Amino acid sequence: MPEVTYREAVRDALTHALRTDERVFLMGEDIGEMGGSMGVTQGLLDEFGPKRIRNTPISEMAIVGTGIGSAMQGMRPVVEIMYEDFLTLSMEQLVNQAAKHRTMSGGQVSVPLTIRTQGGAGWSPGAQHAQQLEAWFVHVPGLKVVFASTPADVRGLLWASIQDENPVLFFEHRTLYPIKGEVPDELEPIPLGRARIHREGEDVTVVATGRLVHEALEAAEAAEQEGISVEVVDPRTLQPLDEETILESVRKTTRCVTAHEAVTRGGFGAELAAVVQHGAFDWLDAPIERVGAKFGPLPFAPALEQWVVPHAADVLDAVRRTVARA
Task: Say whether 129 is catalytic.
Answer: yes
Cα distance between residue 154 and residue 172, in whole Å: 8
Q: How far is CA 113 from CA 39, 120, 156, 274, in A?
A: 22, 23, 17, 30
Choice among 101, 129, 214, 260 that is catalytic: 129
Choice among 29, 60, 84, 215 that is catalytic: 60
325 burial via Cβ count (<10 Å: 0-12, 13-18, 19+): exposed
Task: Say whether 3 is catalytic.
Answer: no
Cα distance between residue 48 and residue 307, in whole Å: 43
Active site residues: 60, 129
